[in-house]
Amino acid sequence: MNEERYGYRVRQALNHGLKDISPASSRRLEAARHLALSRQKQAAPELVLASQGASTAIGFGSNRPGGQPHPYLRQALAVAALLLGMWIAFYWHSVQYVTELEEVDSALLSDDLPPEAFLDNDFFEWLKDDSSED
């Protein structure tokens, strides 16, 4: 049974039992109800951050009952931020790699070695041994 139907049945049972209550008891119950309502804590006004109000104004909120935002909006924004971060890291890494290659190429081209020296297999071994010492 869902909650609305259960609440409806409880209300009907209470309304049905109203006929059996004496007028004096009814007045005492009404006075107790008013007393309880007067003692009930008043809800403090909620503080809302400016960014939350602005998000509703620019379309991030929704017109759903209770003002709940779309359920998957935060997850979608988190995934988008993660993908953007990964793309930036990949781009930055590739720029550094190209810069290192440019430095090596310019150092090799500015050297006084003849081009035939680059074709020698011993030269590559020497480069590997020299770069491993750094």
For the chain, what are the domain ranges?
Answer: 1-41, 71-134
Distance of alpha carbon 32 from alpha carbon 28, whole angstroms: 6
pTM for the predicted model, two decimal places: 0.33
pLDDT tens-digit profile of 87-97? 999 999 999 99
Share of the chain above pLDDT 70, in %: 72
pLDDT at 57: 46
Could you identify the residue written with the tokens 């030269």? Answer: 123
Residue 16 has pLDDT above 50, yes or no: yes
Tell me the mean pLDDT in the region 58-80: 70
Distance of alpha carbon 23 from alpha carbon 126, whole angstroms: 109
Residue 31 has pLDDT above 50, yes or no: yes
pLDDT at 124: 72
pLDDT at 40: 77
Residue 74 vs residues 34, 46, 114: alpha-carbon distances, Å? 43, 22, 61
Lowest-confidence region among 8-12, 65-69, 114-118? 65-69
Count CB atoms within 10 A of the CB of residue 28: 12
Tell me the mean pLDDT in the region 8-14: 81
